[in-house]
Amino acid sequence: MPQRDITRLPDLSNAGPEAGPLRTRRPVYLDLLPPCNVACPAGENIQAWLAHTEAGRYELAWRELVADNPLPAVHGRVCYHPCETSCNRGELDSAVSIHAIERFVGDLAIESGWALPTPGVRTGKRVLVVGGGPSGLAAAYHLARRGHEVEIRDAGADPGGMMRYGIPAYRLPRDVLRAEIDRILALGVRFTAGHRVEDLATERREGGFDAVFVAVGAHLSKHVDIPARDAGRIVDAVSFLRSVASGERPVVGRRVAVYGGGNTAMDAARTARRLGADDTLVVYRRTRSQMPAHEEEAEEAEREGVRINWLRTITAFDGPELTVETMELDEHGFPQPTGRYEQLAADTVILALGQDAETGFLEAVPGVELGSDGTVSVSSSMMTGCPGVFAGGDMVPDERTVTVGVGHGKKAARHIDAWLRGATPSSPPKHETAGFGGLHLWYFGDAARRQQPESSPAERVADFGEVLGGLGIAEATYEAGRCLSCGNCFECDGCLGACPEDAVVKLGAGLRYRFDYDRCTGCGVCFEQCPVHAIEMVPEES
């Protein structure tokens, strides 16, 4: 664990009251919102479960996690961790490896057989969830915990949605996914496989469902017409990844071109390499900075031998010859054709130009409004224009990631529960965010981030084994100790030792402190030395 050096307290030998006996300001203890919590689309209390992990309370860490997110082992692998992008520690040395710790806690829970909390008292209310992906599973989990009877109906053979059929096994092993889904179903959630919902109103009425949450994933691939002599050598990425996830090993040839610049394109290219393609090329019409794929996905693809051609479009495919046109950005940053062409070699072309959600079955539902892009309009409570019909995940306008989908499911479940009870859900006002500029980091020394083990590029493309390994117990505990506890007191005793007037009173382990304002002069030394901005100086009351 990193050493928090208490010998680095500021020199207080010349410290004295700034305001004298007539105080103009006083210190108060407060709690601010850590930026990692703010950035988490699933609404996890990250700082809390990191603190449990640092203290070795691993099951408590997991229980804190699953209070918000029932799929921590999944998220520790596939989430793009915006929490780390927002982590204040990144301004000091490097962000806390939150995703790696989450994976450690999630994997330990699977290994230890920890069970999810028992559902509450049965309410007698029934909720239909359409779609068994991350958003539908999260909604079902949170609704079941509130005592409602939940049934998931899904067109697939197994639950998981795009987590099962779209994310390759080298990123998300199927045994991990299965274990976390099985825990949700063990709460009494019913899963009906191979059931495509086409008449929502009829299914709701005949099933006696009091509410519905619709969370059908984006499974429909967007297409583009490419003149081709053999159209059979052109496949869409979603179908391609789904077939591989189902155990098939399609023949793609030695040379594969993937058309698109999103995360699905990178997954398709990396999967093609594992199917034996010696030369895999991604063709994208814009620049690297404009690509929708996360930078780390593109970097991992390139490490595995995938080449990326920026500012190119495919104009024809006469296998094994591929014609691409060079593009140039105009003054507005949009790619424009140049009339310059190149010939490349490709045995197969995989189209990864984006996906749409299958929302056509909602057109006949009174009150439901669909956007021009097919997405469903919802209110702040995630409810559509039809009373009792809620929607989330890929179906609503938002970023399409597993974590965003889980966050939608959690939020929708809270509002569905309130709607079923005839109540209005209320949320306490949020605290301000603890920014880096408000921290006084004398307390924290340098502590290098622990790295996850990973297989070499040559080893990766040989099979579909997991690329990244997990942290061990010592590394995960150490990494959790790198958390700065932004905005929340962790009882370092700094204020207690710094106060020249003995105005800070320690209340006991876990109870923090209070100020004795009869002694306090308002000098502000406690505020200046508090490493995590858990003390603020406020104007003295008149």
- Spatial contact of 346 and 322, defined as CB atoms under 8 Å apart: yes
pLDDT digits (tens, 9 = 90+) for 360-403: 788 889 999 988 777 899 999 999 999 999 999 989 988 889 99
Residues 80, 102: Cα–Cα separation, whole Å: 13
Question: Can you tell me the mean pLDDT for 489-507?
Answer: 95
First to last CA, the chain: 46
Q: What is the distance between the alpha carbons of residues 489 and 511, in angstroms, rounded to a whole number? A: 10
List, for residues 174-226, the tens digit of each pLDDT value: 999 999 999 999 999 999 999 999 999 999 999 999 999 999 987 777 778 78
Q: HEC string of 174-226?
A: HHHHHHHHHHHHCCCCEEECCCCCCCHHHHHHHHCCCEEEECCCCCEECCCCC
Which DSSP category does 413 fall into?
H
CATH fold, domain 126-219+357-421, is: FAD/NAD(P)-binding domain (3.50.50)
Helix (H) or strand (E) holding 142: helix 134-145
- The CATH architecture that domain 222-353 belongs to is 3-Layer(bba) Sandwich (3.50)
User: In the prediction, which pLDDT does 244 show?
Assistant: 95
Q: What is the mean pLDDT of residues 10-30?
A: 62
Please state, in angstroms and rounded to a whole number, the distance separating the CA atoms of residues 244 and 247: 5
Cis peptide before 41 (omega within 30 of 0): no
Q: Which CATH architecture has domain 6-31+489-539?
A: 2-Layer Sandwich (3.30)
Instruction: Give pTM, 2 decimals.
Output: 0.90
Residue of 457, 461, 482 whose CA lies nearest to 471 = 482
Judge whether 126-219+357-421 and 222-353 match in fold: yes
Residue recorded with tokens 């399409």: 400
- Integer Cα distance of 237 and 222 in angstroms: 10
Paired sense of beta strands 220-221 and 321-329, if any: unpaired
CATH architecture of 35-114+446-480: Orthogonal Bundle (1.10)
- Provide the pLDDT for residue 425: 78
* pLDDT given for residue 435 in this prediction: 95
The answer to which of 35-39, 64-68, 369-373 has the lowest mean pLDDT is 369-373
Sign of CA dihedral 103, 108, 111, 112: negative
Q: What is the model's pLDDT at position 225?
A: 76
H helix and E strand count, the chain: 18, 19
The structural domains of the chain, with segments of one domain joined by +, span 6-31+489-539, 35-114+446-480, 126-219+357-421, 222-353
Helix axes 174-185, 134-145, angle to 10 degrees: 30
Query: Which one-letter DSSP state was computed for residue 288?
Result: G
